[in-house]
Amino acid sequence: MKIAVLVKQVPDSTEITVDKNTGTLVRDGVPSIINPDDLAGLEAALALKDKDDSVEITVISMGPPQAKGMLQETIARGADHAVLLTDRRLGGADTCATSRTLAAALDKIGYDLIIAGRQAIDGDTAQVGPQTAERLNIPQVTYVDEIIELTPEYAVVRKALEDEEQILKVKLPAVLTTLSGMNKPRYMNCMDIVDSFNNPVQIMTYDDLVDILPQNEIGLAGSPTKVHRTFTKDVSAATETFDLPAQETAELIAKTLKDKQLITK
Amino acid sequence: MDFNLTEQQKMMQKLFREVAENEVKENAADVDENERFPKESVEVMRQSKMLGIPYPREYGGAGADYLSYILAVEELSKKCATTGVVLSAHTSLGTWPIAQFGTPEQKEKYLRPLASGEKLAAFGLTEPNAGTDAAGQQTYAVKDGDDYILNGTKIFITNAGEADVYIIFAMTDKSKGTRGISAFIVEKDTPGFTIGLHEKKLGIRGSATSELIFNNVRIPKENLLGKEGQGFKIAMMTLDGGRIGIAAQALGIAQGAIDEVIPYVKARKQFGRSLAKFQNTQFQLANMQTAVDAARLLVYKAAMAKENGEPYSVLAAEAKLFAAETAMDVTTKAIQLMGGYGYTRDLPVERMFRDAKITEIYEGTSEVQRMVISGAMLK
């Protein structure tokens, strides 16, 4: 069972700087972590490996060269292999170009199951996992908070929606996107840290994908999304003030919430 | 000469910091207050393969270097000195003699579960009448067929009751003095072996410190460690290494206290400005950090000497002497800088102050370290 886990290195801070010219994130010099939803995905894969020795985990990330350190840490947590897709030609990619590139890399690497985090804490799009599934033309289940059963043919998972849970059986290969609350990611361990120095992160460039991925579909040029401006929206809402006795205040609050369909009863 | 950690050591340090910050820190006050063994921290250490860092893969260890183990004790002790000594006593005192002197059979049976973290180890040398003068062992073992019969009492034993495997020293031939002492591997549940009085201590209060009582305990001769009469040598060599672990514990306590003081002196205002703006604070902090950094160099140097197979007895004694006295001095000053708040149990420095004291006493008092150092100088 080959499980591919997609991870992204994200800034460990709310202080995100944005390149004024391109509208994309400036990553240099910002402390980085593995995106929390992705780390949950890795932990879910490692838990499957704990139960089944035949599970082989390859962690894949697309990003700048410094993401190599983060990938090595995934090996130090127990992943079998790590691949960094890094190439100036891939830079500036939006989610569409990123998912095309990841899908091409996944075709080269091979997979039975793909696990990706639901969304990254920097971009918050939640698009790369689903788009990758579409590119690969395989089924997907998003918002997974438990992998209940895994067989060579199918997976049974729990999908957590805001107001309900769904237990879904999905045919493999498939893409699952995972939620950070689903588990407590394990730490690195001393044994796998030692091994991670004998198991280098493999580097993939566009040269490895050029036969299946046209150049006009990658990087900034292959990205239909154009960011014009990034800013923090001012919070402003019309307010009304009431001065009423407690009972009437409570009734008014309840009625208002009900009118706005925020509560049902 | 290179004073930098390797990439591998840096990655280890990152792991130890995460474990200390996320798992060990939150329990430190409770472990101290309620004198309870930090079981949950030991479980995280087991999962992270921290209980056999310097031991070979073939026996279940992580196969890493000695300095990485020392970094683990340092980082844990920054947040909880009790957790630091659990790891140090297990790794340096309980496990090392088996790794160093054990037969292949003993290593398979005992080193593997200890290095993989499945079991915990302890070391029993000290007796009511044999502390610094360890040669005065009154525990004795008499050969009886294929066994030895062990009788006597050990005191102040770290990890007592929590450990599954104990390295126990006993006289096998009183007429030979120190050359009549032998070392044995004793399992926890051996009939006649009981855990005695649990000590109530000033510091490292969560560390299990108890008596070990041996009443006609039958030990198979396969559990003799090394040869008969080698026990004193095994004990002294083990303590040489153990001292680097305790030095790392002291180093961690001292740095941990500084780490607590810095945000406090920046936030605390008196006479209209923060304490950090006063030159007394600045100069105290400079002295504290300089001493800690000097201690760190001594500790890491001793660890590297051991890793490289060079003599380390004197280096370990210097590291422990200086780091322990630095820990005592720095934690004293840390409380002074934090004033009344520092003296209360609301903040962790008073615990660090109490924890620091033991590092000047166990695994060889500061006086013993001075004897080792000057002995080598005047040889």
Identify which of B230, B156, B152, B159 has the alpha carbon closest to the alpha carbon of residue B188.
B159
Mean pLDDT computed over every residue of chain B: 97
Contact B68 A190 (CB under 8 A): yes
Give the β-pairing of B181-187 and B224-225: antiparallel
| Residue A236 located in a structural domain | no
Distance set, CA B301 to CA B3, B256, B370 (Å): 9, 21, 18
Residue A183 structural domain = 2-217
Q: Which residues does residue A17 pair with via DSSP β-bridges, in sequence order?
A: A26
Contact B12 A193 (CB under 8 A): yes
Q: Can B325 be counted among the known catalytic residues? A: no
Do the beta carbons of residue B140 and residue B167 sit within 8 Å? no
Mean pLDDT across the stretch B336-358? Answer: 97
Contact A190 B57 (CB under 8 A): no
Q: Which fold has domain B7-115?
A: Butyryl-Coa Dehydrogenase, subunit A; domain 1 (1.10.540)
CA distance B296 to B302: 10
Distance from CA of A191 to the nearest CA of B (A): 4
Q: What is the pLDDT of residues B345-354, one digit of tens each?
A: 999 999 999 9
Mean pLDDT across the stretch B84-89? Answer: 98
Identify the contact set of chain B against chain A, taking CB-CB distances under 8 A. 7-8, 11-12, 14-15, 18-19, 44, 47-50, 52-53, 57, 62-64, 68
What is the percent of chain B with per-residue pLDDT over 70, rounded to a whole number?
A: 100
Q: How many domains does chain A have?
A: 1
Q: Determine the pLDDT at residue A236.
A: 73
Q: What is the pLDDT of residues A183-225, one digit of tens each?
A: 999 999 999 999 999 999 999 999 999 999 999 999 988 899 8
Distance from CA of A33 to the nearest CA of B (A): 12
| Disruptive mutation site among B23, B49, B58 for chain A (greatest number of A CBs within 10 Å) | B49
Q: Determine the pLDDT at residue A231.
A: 75
CATH number belonging to domain B121-232? 2.40.110.10
Give the β-pairing of A165-171 and B121-124: unpaired
Q: What is the pLDDT of residues A96-126, one digit of tens each?
A: 999 999 999 999 999 999 999 999 888 788 8
Contacts of B52 in chain A (CB under 8 A): 190
> Which residues have CB under 8 Å from B292's CB, separation 6+?
B251, B254, B255, B258, B326, B330
Q: What is the pLDDT of residues A44-73, one digit of tens each?
A: 999 999 999 999 999 999 999 999 999 999
CA distance B30 to B205: 10
Q: What is the pLDDT of residues B236-294, one digit of tens each?
A: 999 999 999 999 999 999 999 999 999 999 999 999 999 999 999 999 999 999 999 99
Mean pLDDT across the stretch B183-203? Answer: 96
Q: Determine the pLDDT at residue A11.
A: 84
| Disruptive mutation site among A73, A184, A190 for chain B (greatest number of B CBs within 10 Å) | A190
> Which residues have CB under 8 Å from B308's CB, separation 6+?
none
| Disruptive mutation site among B9, B11, B73, B118 for chain A (greatest number of A CBs within 10 Å) | B11
Q: Determine the pLDDT at residue A230.
A: 74
Q: Which long-range contacts (CB under 8 A, 24 or more apart) does A210-213 make?
A: A212/A104, A212/A107, A212/A108, A213/A100, A213/A101, A213/A104
The CATH code of the domain that includes A181 is 3.40.50.620
Q: Which fold has domain B239-377?
A: Butyryl-CoA Dehydrogenase, subunit A; domain 3 (1.20.140)
Distance set, CA B263 to CA B252, B269, B320, B340 (Å): 18, 12, 28, 16
Mean pLDDT across the stretch B33-59? Answer: 97
Do the beta carbons of residue A139 and residue A114 sit within 8 Å? no
Do the beta carbons of residue B178 and residue B229 sit within 8 Å? no
Q: Determine the pLDDT at residue A79.
A: 97
| Residue A262 located in a structural domain | no
Identify which of A173, A194, A57, A198 has the alpha carbon closest to the alpha carbon of residue A113.
A173
Task: Tell me phi and psi for residue B53, to 5 degrees.
Answer: -55, -50
Residue A27 — pLDDT band, cuts 50, 70, 90? low
CA distance A29 to A8: 16
| Residue A27 located in a structural domain | yes
Mean pLDDT across the stretch A15-38? Answer: 77
Contacts of B9 in chain A (CB under 8 A): none
Extract the tokens encoding B36. 């309870």
| Residue A207 located in a structural domain | yes
Contacts of B57 in chain A (CB under 8 A): 191
- Catalytic choice (B58, B260, B363, B367): B363
Count of CB atoms situated within 10 Å of the CB of B317: 28
Q: Determine the pLDDT at residue A239.
A: 80
The three-class DSSP label of residue A163 is coil
Of the partner residues B14, B47, B63, the one whose CB lies closest to the CB of residue A186: B47
Of the partner residues B7, B18, B48, the one whose CB lies closest to the CB of residue A190: B48
Residue A227 — pLDDT band, cuts 50, 70, 90? confident
Of the partner residues B8, B14, B48, the one whose CB lies closest to the CB of residue A194: B8
Mean pLDDT across the stretch B39-67? Answer: 97
Identify which of A147, A187, A190, A195 has the alpha carbon closest to the alpha carbon of residue A170.
A147
Give the β-pairing of B269-270 and B181-187: unpaired
Contacts of A189 in chain B (CB under 8 A): 15, 47-50, 62
Query: Which amino acid is it at A49?
Result: K
CA distance B7 to B55: 19
Contact A189 B48 (CB under 8 A): yes
CA distance B329 to A161: 56
Q: Determine the pLDDT at residue A14.
A: 56
Q: What is the pLDDT of residues B146-170, one digit of tens each?
A: 999 999 999 999 999 999 999 999 9
Residue A16 — pLDDT band, cuts 50, 70, 90? low
Contact B44 A187 (CB under 8 A): yes
Of the partner residues A72, A189, A197, the one whose CB lies closest to the CB of residue B49: A189
The ranges assigned to domains in chain B are 7-115, 121-232, 239-377
Contact A194 B63 (CB under 8 A): yes
Q: Determine the pLDDT at residue A160.
A: 95
Contact A193 B8 (CB under 8 A): yes
What is the percent of chain A with per-residue pLDDT over 90, rounded to a whole number?
A: 73
Of the partner residues B11, B19, B47, the one whose CB lies closest to the CB of residue A193: B11
